[in-house]
Amino acid sequence: MTLAELKHFHDELYRAYEAEMGGNAVFRMKEWWFYAKCAFADPLAVHRLVRKARKAAEYEAAAERVFNEEPLASVARFHG
């Protein structure tokens, strides 16, 4: 999976959650990031960026930063 494909999936999922749940979409997406962070070279950096977001605008900025600044890992591994 490429970074562009992962971002597209993220964006579609977030839009669907937002349409269904409104502001609670941020918390649902944080659950997704628990697993998705493992696709990145530095999962801890991804976790730190996303975990602080409370509002939609904060979350969207954090997610955009992850996709713009963090490279994918050569092999995705779940770290738990």
pLDDT in tens, 20-51: 998 899 999 999 999 999 999 999 999 999 99
The answer to whether residue 25 is domain-embedded is yes
pLDDT computed for residue 69 by the predictor: 97
**Long-range contacts, 29-37 (Cβ 8 Å, 24+):** 29/59, 29/63, 35/78, 36/6, 36/10
Encoded tokens for 50: 């996303």
The answer to whether residue 61 is domain-embedded is yes
Query: Where in the sequence is the domain holding 13, given as residue range(s)?
Result: 3-69
The answer to whether residue 74 is domain-embedded is no
The answer to whether residue 18 is domain-embedded is yes
The answer to whether residue 76 is domain-embedded is no
- The pTM of the full predicted model, rounded to 2 decimals, is 0.89
The total number of structural domains in the chain stands at 1
